[in-house]
Amino acid sequence: MTDIKRPEVSPAPVVSPEQRAIDELVARKIAGRPGPTYREIIEADGHPVPELLELSWRDLGNDNIPIERYISREWAELEVERLWRKVWQMVCREEDIPKPGDHVVYDIVEDSFLITRAKDGSIKALQNTCLHRGRRLRSRNGRVPEFRCPFHGLTWTLEGDLKDLPHEWDFQHVQKANMCLPQAKVGTWGGYVFINMDPDCAALEEHLGILPDHFKNTAYEDRVKSAHVAQIIPCNWKVAQEAFLEAWHLTQTHPQSAPSAGDVTTQVDLYGDTIARTLTPVGVASPNLLGLEEQDIYDNLLEGRTFYQDRLGIQTGKDFDKDDVEATLPEGVTARQKITEEIRRTIGAALNADFSETPPYMLVDALEYFVFPNFVPWAQEQTNQVYRFRPNGLDPDSCIAEVMYLTPVPEGAERPKPAKIRWLEPGEDWVDAKDLGRLASTINQDMLNLPEVQKGLKALSRTQGSIPLASYMESRIRFFHHTLAKYMGIRNDEGQAGPETTSVAPTVVY
């Protein structure tokens, strides 16, 4: 079986004064919240809390968020220059472009890049535009030996050098050496490819902060993309993303999950300006629900894990075979203990992996990280889900939402080819994306909210200019806006526009 590296589970060192101050700050902030803390649930599992799960939080205040950030065309145009052309952003997986000439077309607002594998195995991010008359060189992913413009036939190598200039006799005034395709900076982490259009940007490693250390046991680079689904949805990219940056909407939006997920118990952690995290316990009931027995919680877990088999007769990599699990909890066993046992037994066997000593939080809980501005990877030892949200051109009222699965490759097994992206038609049911299993029905529920939020924000802007956020439960959204404001040139300390900021965002804040 695969020898899985596991997070350090030895007791945390003596609490430092800095850590104690954070713990006390969060305790004051969540005073009055029902239910146990996430730490108390981990301790009840019988595993010491590792250092990587310690609280890391700071108070970013309670100022409102301007509505115009979600609905303004002018704000969207400013995001092009101040955010998307200045920030590291995930563009694809390395496995999407394994051989020379393989390429992915990455579009972000008005920019387009060819993320390609060069002949020497390096990865390039070439501007996807002919330097003659501006025609896009490629409109879809694929593999080619060179990039030839379909308009007049100018051709570039995989490294971006101009190879062929038809009728060169009539271009004596053009220096071929000056006709190389412009490139963005490229970085990789965990099998993912990132680019940054700013030639003076800081290194990707600085942007990722604590992420590589926190994911060193998850081995993203060794996983295969087993599903990839995308859809254009009628809301701003920030509206869509923020629905996935907090957990307390679960009881109202996803009531089928509330009996077995501690939504308001979620721990929020903030690291620097670019990384944030939520830790949501699974196998425990939402503190909003009273009177549930352990069997009720377990029943709910099994129903979710066998959703697709019951309805469609199929089973995905995150689901159980309903005929292969006990339906009744043994006496004295909690739902969380039993679901952990079943994951170790069934999914562990399917992956040829030994999960016997893996702590429950790495098998059942929602350990969801956020990398500014729009990359949301989960951290589990089984199949992980990953989200990405980006603008759909300059339209502030629509965006591209994507969901991917990353699955461990069993030891000794041939590595499968990565899943190709499946585009759902606008309005198409996510349940049609069968590769997503039980997650698809959950995303459907989010999709019912998002267009109505966009419409509601427009209506609300007539009577108020901003919206409030919860102090703690939505602090990851506030964290996102805190960093967004920095990129956009807004001085958060005084609530005033920075020297380069137009009147599109005269107030607020983070």
Give the model confidence (pLDDT) of 87-119 as tens digits. 999 999 999 999 999 999 999 999 999 999 999
**pLDDT tens per residue, range 392-410:** 999 999 999 999 999 998 8
What is the C-alpha separation between 437 and 86, in angstroms, rounded?
Answer: 36
* Domain-located, residue 247: yes
Last residue of a domain, one of 150, 165, 200: 200
3-state secondary structure of 337: helix
The arrangement of strands across the sheet holding 102-108 comes to 123-127, 111-117, 102-108, 142-143
Domain count, the chain: 2
Q: Phi/psi at 104 (nearest 5 deg)?
A: -120, 130
- Domain containing residue 135: CATH number: 2.102.10.10
* Domain-located, residue 364: yes
273 in the same domain as 296? yes
* Domain-located, residue 53: yes
391 in the same domain as 242? yes
- Token digits for 176? 């071929």
- Token digits for 299? 């029943």
Rounded to whole angstroms, the maximal C-alpha distance in the chain is 87
231 in the same domain as 364? yes
395 in the same domain as 414? yes
Q: What is the pLDDT of residue 54?
A: 96
Last residue of a domain, one of 175, 200, 225: 200
348 in the same domain as 263? yes
What is the C-alpha separation between 88 and 187, in angstroms, rounded?
Answer: 9
* Domain-located, residue 29: yes
Domain range for 250 is: 17-59+206-460
451 in the same domain as 321? yes
Pairing of strands 395-408, 422-424: unpaired
Q: What is the pLDDT of residue 310?
A: 43
Q: What is the pLDDT of residue 162?
A: 98
- Domain containing residue 293: CATH number: 3.90.380
* Domain-located, residue 337: yes
Model confidence at 475: pLDDT above 80: yes
210 in the same domain as 193? no
Query: 3-class secondary structure for 167-231?
Result: CHHHCCCCCHHHCCCCECEEEEECCEEEEECCCCCCCHHHHHCCHHHHCCCCCHHHEEEEEEEEE
Pairing of strands 422-424, 223-233: parallel
3-state secondary structure of 434: helix
269 in the same domain as 222? yes
Please, which pLDDT band fits residue 304 given cuts at 50, 70 and 90?
A: confident
